[in-house]
């Protein structure tokens, strides 16, 4: 389950910035580590579950909808999982930079999601439109 480019790029950028100009998020402590690793684990599990639910569908060029598993609750559970991983890393690394870059990440992901949704609306029938009315975009 590789992370998409916006997540990887901003993770790398934020961690490099932290290395060059350290700006901690919180005072050192075990709570942020436990919370961060819990969020990372939850995000990874959601991503794996979404990947398994998608099965053999070519997600870059889908010809059908996935509406079961996490897709019954979120139209884009992989992005939710990947973003959770990003935020968990911010806590584990204890870096303010990843939090500062998070709005940019959210904007980039949202732009990608809107493009993907436009593509899904081209699928034959009204299946995606009905699904869209029933299931939230993210959470």
* DSSP 8-state code for residue 94: T
Q: At residue 112, what are phi and psi to the nearest 5 degrees?
A: -65, -45
- Tell me, what's the pLDDT at 1? 62
- Tell me, what's the pLDDT at 63? 80
Q: What is the mean pLDDT of each run of 10 residues along the chain (139 residues)?
A: 88 97 86 95 97 89 89 97 97 96 98 93 88 96
pTM of this structure: 0.93
Query: What distances in angstroms separate CA 43 from CA 9, 23, 133, one per listed residue?
Result: 18, 25, 25
Q: At residue 24, what are phi and psi to the nearest 5 degrees?
A: -80, 155
């Amino acid at each position: 389950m590789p992370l998409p480019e916006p997540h990887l790029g901003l993770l790398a950028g934020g961690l490099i910035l932290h290395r060059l100009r350290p700006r901690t998020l919180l005072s050192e402590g075990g709570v942020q580590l436990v919370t961060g690793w819990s969020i990372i684990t939850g995000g990874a599990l959601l991503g794996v579950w979404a990947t398994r639910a998608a099965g053999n569908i070519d997600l870059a060029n889908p010809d059908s909808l996935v509406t079961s598993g996490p897709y019954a609750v979120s139209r884009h559970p992989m992005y939710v999982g990947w973003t959770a991983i990003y935020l968990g890393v911010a806590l584990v690394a204890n870096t303010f930079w990843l939090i500062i870059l998070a709005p940019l990440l959210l904007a980039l992901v949202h732009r990608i999601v809107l493009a993907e949704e436009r593509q899904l609306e081209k699928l034959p029938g009204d299946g995606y439109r009905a699904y869209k009315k029933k299931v939230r975009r993210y959470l």
